[in-house]
Structure 1
Amino acid sequence: MKSCLPLLLVIFAAQLHAAEFVLVSKEVAPPPIIVFKDAPPRTREVANVLAGYINKISGQKPAVQEGEPSPLPERAIWIGFQPAIKPLFPNTDFEFKHPEEILITANEKHVVIAGRDRWDPTKLDIETREGVIKGKQQEYGTINAVYTFLQDQLGVRWFWPGELGEDVPKNERIVISTPLEHRHHPQIRSRGGVFNFSSLGNRGYGASHEWTMLQRLQLDSFAIEGGHGFADWWDKYHDKHPEIFALQPDGTRSGFPTPRTAKLCMSNPKVWELWLESVAEDLKSDPHLTIFNASPNDSWSSGHCVCANCSAWDHPDGESRVFNWFKHNEKRPATSDRDLTFANKLGELLKQKYPGKDYRVLMLSYGHSRPAPVKARPADNVIMSIVANFFGRAGLVDRGSTRGDTYRQQFEAWSGIVPAMLWRPNTGSPAGWQQGLPDIHIAQTVRDLKDVAAAHCEGIYIDGVWEHWATQGPLYYVMAQLVWNPGADADVILKDYYQRAFGPAADSVREYFEALERERMAFTAKNLEPEVFEFPKLYTADVLSAAQSRLDRAAAAAPADSIYARRVAFIQTGLTYTRMMVETITLMDRYWQKKDESIAAQVKANWQAIEKLTAVHPAAINWKAVRPITPRMAGLHPDSAKPKPKKKAKANDLDL
């Protein structure tokens, strides 16, 4: 008989090394939460958030104090780096070498939740076009570390905005397994634009600001613009500096096609000088900025400069594209090499003016610069924002391409030549995305996000996600989790989402969304850019009836009056809305063919019912985004103008 001694020694050794930090129990009061001295306001605030969640879980609330206590407590939760923790963790490296790096470490008596923080104490409140952003920082490592601790160590979940979407486990005893050391630095440093309407400081359609913060999206370190860089330049400069604007074929510098979309003479050094002045002005207002937009204005096919110097920056082998000017159009090479040469020049000047600063020039690959450049390559302080519209729209062809290139092909071409990039897709409404219908494409988006991350993506800006949580919520959740950590397992995330949110109803709710996703993917494979009046072809009576049967099974599985039953009812709100919206679309299609006051009355009654429905669960459908007065709902109310038929895309159409 063999001796068991070696096995017993292994088990004994494992027990010696496997210990616990008892954060709170019936017998053990919670340790104090100690915030580092002179912490910025948002960091002090998150310490109280942590204390509040410990109280929600255990019924005991830790005290929060700022600055190193004397004497040091025997047990503590330390928020942010402070000198007192180094002797407590002598083998831990507290030097944060990566932007936004977070660290969660624990031994048997102490927990440290810290990260790389950057802020200017004199510029914590920043004035923006939409109001004042308070407590602004360049990096929020410690705050995002706390949210990570809440999710990964304490098991808190935020499935959608509001109390109903929050899941807090109840346990009198909270234990952290030790030794623990978790480090992470997010590859995607510009994350606020994923849910742009709920990004920091945005006052638009968004209704999920707290949720995006808890998901570690809102407090990021790249504040990028999703749009264009020179929309106000015609008003500011056309009288004093007319020479900086694009030369037109007729010899004028007219600002065609409109003041907000006027193009520049990029090769003119005065443009470079004025751009640097605008950078200085922006930094005075907000010293946290590190990226400065130099992207040409919209109406991408119109008004580009034809002067000899700007034209020389175009590569003759670039894809032939159709350009428009006043009463004139012609084919010329794509502007990718031109725009990149311009950005590189500004990057060179930016580096000269601000040596040692990690400042970068932002340039869109958009419109006639969507094809990858032939020869030009971005300088080390130029970052490309690739407007490749394959979010939820596989196989879509760039309407400006004379070769028939898809957006995905263009993205892949750029990814092969740039060291880093941003992805900035427009979303459209392939299956009712904008109208709040269940336009979900989870599997495709998981693949796309992982592919984008593999292409060294540093930021994502999606225009736009309209925040309809009852119809598109599982997609939003997995997006948020993968943007923070693209290496995470999406299957594990989704299994956790359904099980934690819906308990015994999980299987039926998952079947509900996956069946709708299959129908949606089949529809969009055949209808790349459908009209809103085509959506009833997808959301047929049979499809909606089958969806209702699945939710009925979910409701039957969830115990009455339980949190699971309430969450199933939340999802039911989305299906009820979908049914009413599809009926409204069908009625309005008939109404525009032949106006009928009885149809108009029925549609108006539907809209009143929709408004009441969305008021019951405000997070279910974003009423601000779907009101009948919004552009997305054009033609879906009898008081609106009759919608114009959508033009078939042509090579010289504007990409609006």
Structure 2
Amino acid sequence: MERKHVGRFLSLLLAGGLLAGPTAGRAATLVEKGQPRAVIVLPVKASPAAARAARVFQDHIKQMSGAELPIRTEDQVADAPTKDQAWILVGEGTLAAKQNLTSKGLGAGGVHLSAKGQVVALFGPDAGTPSDPDGTRYAVTTFLEDKLGVRYLWPGELGKVIPRQETIAVDDFEYRFTPKLGQRRIRSLSYHDRLQVGLDGLGFTKADYEKGVADTHRTASESPDWFGWQRLGGTLNINGGHAFTQLWAKSGKEHPEWFALQPDGTRDQSTNPERAQLCFSNPGLVEEVAREKIAELTRNPALLGVSIAPNDGGRPSFCSCPKCEALDAAGGRKVLLWDFTKGKQRTFEHVSLTDRMVWFWNAVAERVAKVHPDKLLVVDSYSVYAAPPVERKLHPNLVVRFGPLGYHSDEYRKESLRDWDGWSKAAGRIYFRPNLMLSGRRDGLPLVYVHKFAEDFRYLAGHGMMGTDFDSCCHNWATQGLNYYVVARLHWNPEQDVNAIVDDFCKTGFGPAAGPVRRYFDRLEGLMNETAAKDKKAASVFTPEALAGLRKELEQAKRAVGDAPAFAGRVAFLERGLRWTEVEAGAHALLADPAAVDKTAAKKALDERYTLMQELFRKTPSAVNVAYVAWGEDAQWSRLGWSRPRKP
């Protein structure tokens, strides 16, 4: 734990807008000189969110002050608080009603926070809004942040900021807020087969990986995970995703006509069956998909919508039959399609496939609506059908899952925002499902884009965005942690000032080193902007000169924090990310001209990289997800004549 280092105004920032400031009214004292002066009160039939939130509140107060506040239910306390014992009402119950406090008027995931006299109230609608029943938990973490200065910068105890306060008092205030986005989701990358490939290459096991994650994410206080703490949650109650991954295995032999005609004249999808492409003009396919979706919705009456989105791109080409080609809009945007039928990939120009997709989606939607008129079907704006439709209008029961947007290229960013405008006007419902946070998954580099993201996310929120589903947080916390933090914070309230968020991250997390740490992040973002403006490869901007500038800022940060344990530990964490960046950028520089590279020097550099990966995995696995990096790019080093060191 560390003593409070920043001004009190910082404790009022960034939970979705400022809390109302102190009004005329005495403070409720919760802890006085390390002794409890309050009781946490739960409704007799507390919601799951309230029961968990009470423990979160109790633990954080104890870690902060040393005092353990008792938890009681409403039937275990007196009729009113006393001057010596305040109430903290966690969850909406009869005592809140007696104080004329209610969640009425709050939407899904909404929060009520207030203090008046000796009563502090923290609750949300919970079960009253089943699409987001965690309002009370959000209320507690909001209070801990905005009134007491707690922060959760990245997973694990090092990422937690718990200011030491022996006396805790709260002035009168009231704050009510409902998040604008009905679904706030960032997927957390977990163990899967790609990670196992990387683990095998590094000489580690699934058990090693899972233990490392568990150990580094553990915190001293009872707490939701990092994602839950940031108030990510809610659901649109619709299933999105690539809908036909099993169709080839199920129907390929019996109905080959349902599948895309390949450039070699076959309809064979067996080389990549889970990514099979379809013949969207085929009437039998339309009837089969409609039948299956009607059955799926009938089996799951509580579900609002299901997916009819195409499979992700793989080796199979999109259909080239005359009927599918006739569904394309001649004026559509030019895209590149691919062909693997002769072994080596061939790309060729074609018009966007959006209009053919819309024809198929509409045909299915018309049939499903006859049985389930109020249900929805989820489709994708993605890949070679990212552009809005040119000639066709969308059926009103379609929901668009929008995939584009990234910061590797300024032109791509502009195109993606134009596409959002087109789709948000064409569709009655749209949500954001980007691959944005997968940026850097193959190299773990610090590709910082927080200012552009904040501008764009606010724009999307003001132009139809229902919610989000980000794929995925790759757990490169020492290199991309600031991105993750800003993206999560803006989900709660897209109108927040990104500079205030970044400043708060630096000041609360790094104390006297806030200045050089902020400059460090600004330098990283400048390098990312250079990449985007010139359409460069990301690794190429991490030149020796750029890396020296970054190193200078962290050296200044290290001197500024001295031996203050938490601040110094966080600076050291960033240093691990920079060390990885230096080694990784050096390795990528060798790929510029593999034929000219001295093989002995290359082996030394790549052996150093491999050793660093193993060290990061063993000591600080949350710094860079080296197992994912090993899966993503280690095969390319054979071009330099390198292979992994053999086990002794």
TM normalised by structure 1 equals 0.77
- Select the structure with the greater relative contact order (CA < 8 A; seq sep ≥ 6): 2
Find 1:417's aligned residue among 419, 422, 426.
Answer: 426
State the number of aligned residues. 585
Q: Note the C-alpha offset of 1:506.
A: 0.7
What's 2:5 paired with? none
What's 1:82 paired with? 93
CA spacing shift, 1:477–1:17, aligned 2, 3 Å = same
CA spacing shift, 1:290–1:391, aligned 2, 3 Å = farther
Superimposed CA distance per residue, residues 451-490 of structure 1 (whole angstroms, 9 cap, x where no aligned partner): 2222221233344442222222222221111122101111
The 8 Å contact of residues 226 and 461 in structure 1, kept in 2 or not, is answered as: no
Check if 1:456 corresponds to 2:456.
Answer: no
The 8 Å contact of residues 34 and 66 in structure 1, kept in 2 or not, is answered as: yes
- Mapped to 1, the partners of 2:359 and 2:555 lie a distance apart of 59
- Output the amino acid matched with 1:559: G
What's 2:610 paired with? 607
What's 1:228 paired with? 242
- Mapped to 1, the partners of 2:535 and 2:636 lie a distance apart of 20
Superimposed CA distance per residue, residues 278-333 of structure 1 (whole angstroms, 9 cap, x where no aligned partner): 3455x49xx6x54422101123882338475x677655654466667868999876
CA spacing shift, 1:272–1:441, aligned 2, 3 Å = same
Check if 1:293 corresponds to 2:311.
Answer: no
Q: Unpaired runs of 5+ in structure 2?
A: 1-20, 197-205, 218-223
The 8 Å contact of residues 453 and 486 in structure 1, kept in 2 or not, is answered as: yes
- Mapped to 2, the partners of 1:539 and 1:178 lie a distance apart of 50
Q: Note the C-alpha offset of 1:548.
A: 1.6
CA spacing shift, 1:15–1:500, aligned 2, 3 Å = closer
Superimposed CA distance per residue, residues 340-397 of structure 1 (whole angstroms, 9 cap, x where no aligned partner): 35445555666665577xx532110123322212354445543211221334532138
What's 2:317 paired with? 302
- Mapped to 1, the partners of 2:22 and 2:575 lie a distance apart of 49
Q: Match of 1:458, SS? A: strand
- Output the amino acid matched with 2:231: R
CA spacing shift, 1:518–1:273, aligned 2, 3 Å = same
- Mapped to 1, the partners of 2:393 and 2:582 lie a distance apart of 50
Superimposed CA distance per residue, residues 396-424 of structure 1 (whole angstroms, 9 cap, x where no aligned partner): 38xxxxxxx93333223223333442223
- Mapped to 2, the partners of 1:153 and 1:508 lie a distance apart of 27
The 8 Å contact of residues 192 and 220 in structure 1, kept in 2 or not, is answered as: no
The 8 Å contact of residues 422 and 457 in structure 1, kept in 2 or not, is answered as: yes
CA spacing shift, 1:586–1:245, aligned 2, 3 Å = closer
- Output the amino acid matched with 1:55: K
Find 1:20's aligned residue among 12, 17, 27.
Answer: 27
CA spacing shift, 1:176–1:618, aligned 2, 3 Å = same
Q: Note the C-alpha offset of 1:553.
A: 1.4
CA spacing shift, 1:234–1:387, aligned 2, 3 Å = same
- Mapped to 1, the partners of 2:23 and 2:376 lie a distance apart of 50
Q: Match of 1:508, SS? A: helix
What's 1:127 paired with? none
- Mapped to 2, the partners of 1:149 and 1:428 lie a distance apart of 28
Q: Note the C-alpha offset of 1:249.
A: 8.9
Q: Unpaired runs of 5+ in structure 1?
A: 1-13, 121-135, 398-404, 643-656
Q: Note the C-alpha offset of 1:52.
A: 0.4
Find 2:496's aligned residue among 457, 482, 488.
Answer: 488
- Output the amino acid matched with 1:454: G
Q: Note the C-alpha offset of 1:549.
A: 1.7
Check if 1:503 corresponds to 2:514.
Answer: no
Find 1:171's aligned residue among 145, 161, 165.
Answer: 165
Check if 1:191 corresponds to 2:185.
Answer: yes
Q: Note the C-alpha offset of 1:167.
A: 0.5
- Output the amino acid matched with 1:295: A
Q: Match of 2:557, SS? A: helix
Q: CA RMSD in A?
A: 4.0
Superimposed CA distance per residue, residues 587-630 of structure 1 (whole angstroms, 9 cap, x where no aligned partner): 5667665673564245224321342245333322223323x3x1
What's 2:277 paired with? 263
Matches within 5 A, 1:562-601: 562-587=565-590, 593=596, 596-597=599-600, 599-601=602-604
Q: Match of 1:635, SS? A: helix
Superimposed CA distance per residue, residues 506-541 of structure 1 (whole angstroms, 9 cap, x where no aligned partner): 11111122123223322332134x2x7xx2x42222
The 8 Å contact of residues 260 and 318 in structure 2, kept in 1 or not, is answered as: yes
- Mapped to 2, the partners of 1:249 and 1:550 lie a distance apart of 55
Check if 1:339 corresponds to 2:357.
Answer: yes
Check if 1:105 corresponds to 2:124.
Answer: no
Matches within 5 A, 1:201-212: 210-212=225-227
- Mapped to 2, the partners of 1:574 and 1:507 lie a distance apart of 18
CA spacing shift, 1:598–1:323, aligned 2, 3 Å = closer
- Output the amino acid matched with 2:87: A
Matches within 5 A, 1:614-633: 614-626=617-629, 628=630, 630-633=631-634
What's 1:61 paired with? 68
CA spacing shift, 1:458–1:600, aligned 2, 3 Å = same
- Output the amino acid matched with 1:77: I
Q: Note the C-alpha offset of 1:50.
A: 1.5
Q: Note the C-alpha offset of 1:180.
A: 1.1
- Mapped to 1, the partners of 2:485 and 2:75 lie a distance apart of 38
Superimposed CA distance per residue, residues 39-67 of structure 1 (whole angstroms, 9 cap, x where no aligned partner): 33x55233211110111122212223456
The 8 Å contact of residues 424 and 462 in structure 1, kept in 2 or not, is answered as: yes
The 8 Å contact of residues 107 and 178 in structure 2, kept in 1 or not, is answered as: no
Q: Match of 2:419, SS? A: helix
Quick check: which one's helix share is greater? Answer: 2
- Mapped to 1, the partners of 2:23 and 2:433 lie a distance apart of 51
What's 1:634 paired with? 635
CA spacing shift, 1:53–1:324, aligned 2, 3 Å = closer
- Mapped to 1, the partners of 2:239 and 2:433 lie a distance apart of 10
What's 1:52 paired with? 59
Find 2:146's aligned residue among 123, 142, 152.
Answer: 152
- Output the amino acid matched with 2:633: R
Deviation larger for 229-238 or 405-414: 405-414
- Output the amino acid matched with 1:457: M
Q: Note the C-alpha offset of 1:498.
A: 1.0
The 8 Å contact of residues 606 and 642 in structure 2, kept in 1 or not, is answered as: no
Q: Note the C-alpha offset of 1:150.
A: 2.1
Deviation larger for 459-468 or 489-498: 459-468
The 8 Å contact of residues 392 and 445 in structure 1, kept in 2 or not, is answered as: no
